[in-house]
Structure 1
Amino acid sequence: MDAFIARQPIFNKKEKVVAYELLYRDSFENYYKGNDEDKATCNVIANVFSLVGVDKITWGKKAFINFPKKLITDDVIPMLPKNVVIEILETVEPTPRVVNACRYLKGCGYTLALDDFIFDKKYIELLDLADIVKVDFKMARYEKKFILNNTKNNNIKFLAEKVETQEDYNKAKNLGYDLFQGYFFSKPTIVSAKDIPKEKLIYVEILSELSKKNVDIVKLKSLIIKDLSIIYKFLKLINSSMYGLKSKILSPHQAITYLGEIESCKWLYVIVLGSMGSYRSSEIVRASIVRAKFCERIGSKLYPDDLEKQYNFFIVGMLSMLDVILERNMESLLGELFLEKDVREALIGKGNKYREVLDLIISYERARWDECTEFSKKLNINISAVVKEYIFALNWANII
């Protein structure tokens, strides 16, 4: 694959993910510019739909994709599935040909979105067709009002872009926005002296045991059986088609014996972290799982013969947003776990190999392609391998 492809979640008012915007760059050398927009979009379409499969990246949700003028007016789009949202770039002039093409696509059942929208009367015909209007709500506070006053379309949903903090989200919600895009979900809202709820203390105990260099399997089993939901999820997972067992495994003891210590611990990290989340954290848990598998896979390239280090890379990715999930300071949380020094330091931002790999996946998630390229060079990992492992991690996280 010769293109970067990442994604950014789009949330509704209930903070549930309803779609992903595909973020991409058409080559490892250059950002697309001006007349290369067509090539960039064609490249992402080829990669996502032909080589990878859009459902593997968006997990069955809608995919927002930027379309420049030429591709809107050509016959490319009708070949795409209807869960693609046609995002019309702000650089597209609303010529009669463009408006007619959009009217045709709307009639075909596609969702139309106007990107980075700033009101101008020349866009009224497109506004009348649009399903979604994306606005940088911090830069254009009254844009929504202008739009509603100048269109007959009463079904427009307004999407607030660049929502980077919980405060941004609350402001946009109060302004009447319907959808929200940004990385606000991945930043911790620290509540001072916030206690971990009693019902979640068992999860912290299990994490504490899992984080030990030499896990006490007997103690781990005794902790697991205190929570029936963990037992249920653990057994359901091992009896799934993923392992293709001929006879069912009926107890945690059997499961751990079959999987082995390291593999069991990895799955228990996934299950426990998912159980710890609040009402808004399902996307955080998914992102943590993707990071864990990505870090482990890159770690296996750096240390192919060291399973312990590979496992530590998995832990670093898995716990990288624990502060967001529990709304507590990361250093305070890590004080309750028995992590190795290098793992602990990586999670609080100190530089080492674990941190470099974590920074690599974070830069990839955020579509900071230049940073991503620099980190991959520093780690001596081919950038095409980075893309491959990201897609693999997304696919793996979607299966479980």
Structure 2
Amino acid sequence: MEYFVSRQPIFKIDSSIIGYRLRFQDDIENTLLKMSFSIEENDQSNEIAMSFFELTAGKLAFVDFGPNAIKSLIPKNLDPDHLVINVDVSQSPDQNQLSALLALYDLGYRICLDNLNDELAWKSFYPSVAYMALHVDISSSNDFFRIVDCVGMYPDIKLIATSVEDKAYHAVAVQVGFSYFEGSFFLNQQY
């Protein structure tokens, strides 16, 4: 299986890199490859795991996993010390997905909720969340601030501001209390 990987660094407020968001793509044109491996395809996840350390220079790898990969516990094939399971939460979870995520959390994996737009659907899962990645959207600030306020009740969740493209977005994210930042304001994706 041929694939391309892009990486986007995730920075702390002091500009040091904590890890990289890795996106596996079908082609260089940025067509995302869905990380929804079947059990039979886990040899590919081993191949991908071998390259994590190289791609991230030993830092954390934030990797998107689809619901099927999570339910099949595919992330178990990867080192929990270097992996953050990035979960697209734009849709409500089903019980099997939540159970699998809790099992992975119990094994020492860190979970990052990404694209949250309905904080109530995932709220019961917040105690197991290490990171939450939110798009800093100044134009729809009411929804954005509502979600940030809700997450604020869980001090162990570290907030990652995504799509930080300029000083204005960065300033809003810092003011609201984000600890980590991702976007072209810092560095463009690398292929």
How far is 1:151 from its partner?
A: 7.8
* In structure 1, distance between residues paired with 2:183 and 2:29: 26
Tell me if structure 1 keeps the 8 A contact 2:37–2:69. Answer: no
Distance 1:166 1:146, change over 3 A: closer
Q: How does 1:85-164 map to 2 (within 5 A)?
A: 85-91=84-90, 93-138=92-137, 140-142=140-142, 143-149=144-150, 153-164=154-165
Aligned to 2:57: 59
Structure 2 unmatched runs, 5+: none
Q: How does 1:259-298 map to 2 (within 5 A)?
A: none
Output one character per residue of 1:62-91: Cα deviation in whole Å (capped at 9) or x when no partner. 000001101111132112101100000135
* In structure 2, distance between residues paired with 1:39 and 1:96: 20
Q: How does 1:1-400 map to 2 (within 5 A)?
A: 2-27=2-27, 31-32=31-32, 36-39=34-37, 45-50=45-50, 53-82=51-80, 83-91=82-90, 93-138=92-137, 140-142=140-142, 143-149=144-150, 153-186=154-187, 365=190
Give secondary structure in 1 for the equivalent of 2:36.
helix
* In structure 2, distance between residues paired with 1:29 and 1:165: 24
Tell me if structure 1 keeps the 8 A contact 2:45–2:77. Answer: no
| TM-score, scaled to structure 1 | 0.42
How far is 1:168 from its partner?
A: 2.3
Tell me if structure 1 keeps the 8 A contact 2:159–2:179. Answer: yes
Aligned-pair identity (%): 22
Output one character per residue of 1:331-357: Cα deviation in whole Å (capped at 9) or x when no partner. xxxxxxxxxxxxxxxxxxxxxxxxxxx
Output one character per residue of 1:107-137: Cα deviation in whole Å (capped at 9) or x when no partner. 1111100011113422112223211111111
Give the letter for the 2:63 counterpart: I
How far is 1:185 from its partner?
A: 2.0
Give the letter for the 1:31 counterpart: T
Give secondary structure in 1 for the equivalent of 2:31.
coil
Structure 1 unmatched runs, 5+: 187-361, 368-400
Aligned to 1:201: none
Give the letter for the 1:99 counterpart: L
How far is 1:180 from its partner?
A: 0.3
| TM-score, scaled to structure 2 | 0.82
How far is 1:141 from its partner?
A: 3.0
Give secondary structure in 1 for the equivalent of 2:147.
helix
Tell me if structure 2 keeps the 8 A contact 1:128–1:152. Answer: no
Superposition RMSD on alpha carbons, in Å? 3.0
Distance 1:29 1:104, change over 3 A: same
How far is 1:154 from its partner?
A: 2.7
**Which of the two has greater strand per residue?**
2
**Which of the two has greater helix per residue?**
1
> Larger relative CO (CA 8 A, sep 6+): 1 or 2?
2
Output one character per residue of 1:305-326: Cα deviation in whole Å (capped at 9) or x when no partner. xxxxxxxxxxxxxxxxxxxxxx
Tell me if structure 2 keeps the 8 A contact 1:68–1:92. Answer: no
* In structure 1, distance between residues paired with 2:149 and 2:135: 16
* In structure 2, distance between residues paired with 1:30 and 1:47: 21
Give secondary structure in 2 for the equivalent of 1:141.
helix
Aligned pair count reads 186
* In structure 2, distance between residues paired with 1:39 and 1:103: 19
